[in-house]
Amino acid sequence: MLYYPYIDPVAISIPFPFIEKLQIRWYGLTYLIGFVATWWLGHKRLKQFNQPMNANQFDDFLFYGILGVIIGGRLGYTLFYQFSEFINNPLYIFYIWKGGMSFHGGLLGVLLVTGLFSYYHKIPLFAITDFLAPLTPIGLGMGRIGNFINGELWGVPTELPWGMRIPIFCKHFPEQCNGFTSGFFWSEPLHPSQLYEAILEGLVLFILLWWFSKRQRPTMAVSGLFLIVYATIRCVIELVRQPDAHLGYLAYGWVTMGQILSLPMLIGGIILLALAYWQRLYRMR
């Protein structure tokens, strides 16, 4: 059994004019590290065979892609996970200080940017997505580390030796603290599901896609593999991850919003991978 090593989510706090303090949070820094790693890996990948864009085009794309991740991630979280809050107060979408980013929303944002970039530069869409897919997992893994530092997205109770107890603060649950609003108590051991995702969606998926894309593959194959493996990992980990409290399980006592949003990814990935290799076989005839 492990105990959660509390980490202050604020990495740096600086006095600043007009506001009490300028706070730089670890969650934001993990995103920054992910974007920098994507830029570095992208330029490394550009030196490989037959890449669809040059270095200047990639730098331009990355700028717009980051906007797609942030705007799409926030829109997706609001519409997929906080829709009732949005209906009651449409300005909620701008309450970024309350947190909340959706991978699936961020993916849609990047796909929109990619489609526009593809049209403007006359580069085949799937040539770009095949190039981008191996660069994505590091950013995903860093985001999950940010979730861990924030102490959010915990798993369900477990008896496994790496189950982690987390502090439950009485000010949020006074009924469990005999009415006291100060102090805390330790939860039962929980799956550290953020770390599972950081390892599987981040490191393992990165190694798999980087290895797979080292050889020339048919167009759409790398994109299809990314969608299949990510969706499978996400659906499996959702089985040991607590659902969002305001949504709960959506069906059968185990189906979550994350699984529902991942299902189209899985189906789309299977279709892309099948089409990629069917086209190769067709050309070989």
Residue 285, pLDDT > 60, answer no
In a domain, 143, yes or no: no
CA-closest candidate to residue 69, choices 101, 106, 112: 106
In a domain, 176, yes or no: yes
Cβ 188 vs Cβ 216: under 8 Å:
no
**pLDDT tens-digit profile of 16-50?**
666 667 778 888 899 899 999 999 999 999 988 77
In this prediction, what percent of the chain has a pLDDT beyond 90? 61
Cβ 36 vs Cβ 111: under 8 Å:
no
| 56 token code pair | 């200047």
In a domain, 182, yes or no: yes
In a domain, 181, yes or no: yes
CB atoms near residue 133 (< 10 Å): 23
Domain enclosing residue 172, as ranges: 157-190
pTM: 0.89
DSSP secondary-structure letter at 54? -
Rounded mean pLDDT, 222-243: 96
Rounded mean pLDDT, 206-229: 95
pLDDT, position 23: 79
Number of structural domains in the chain? 1
Residue 14, pLDDT > 60, answer yes
In a domain, 200, yes or no: no
pLDDT, position 109: 94
In a domain, 174, yes or no: yes
**pLDDT tens-digit profile of 66-95?**
999 989 999 988 888 888 888 888 887 877
In a domain, 199, yes or no: no
Longest dimension (CA), the chain: 76
Of residues 285 and 14, more confidently modeled: 14
Of residues 176 and 266, more confidently modeled: 266
Average pLDDT, the chain: 89
Q: Give CA–CA dist 81/59, Å, rounded.
A: 32
Residue 10, pLDDT > 90, answer no
The amino acid sitting at 179 is: G
**pLDDT tens-digit profile of 110-167?**
999 999 999 999 999 999 999 999 999 999 999 999 999 988 899 999 999 999 999 8
- In this prediction, residue 181 has a pLDDT band, given cuts at 50, 70 and 90, of low
pLDDT, position 244: 83
In a domain, 186, yes or no: yes
| 149 token code pair | 């530092």
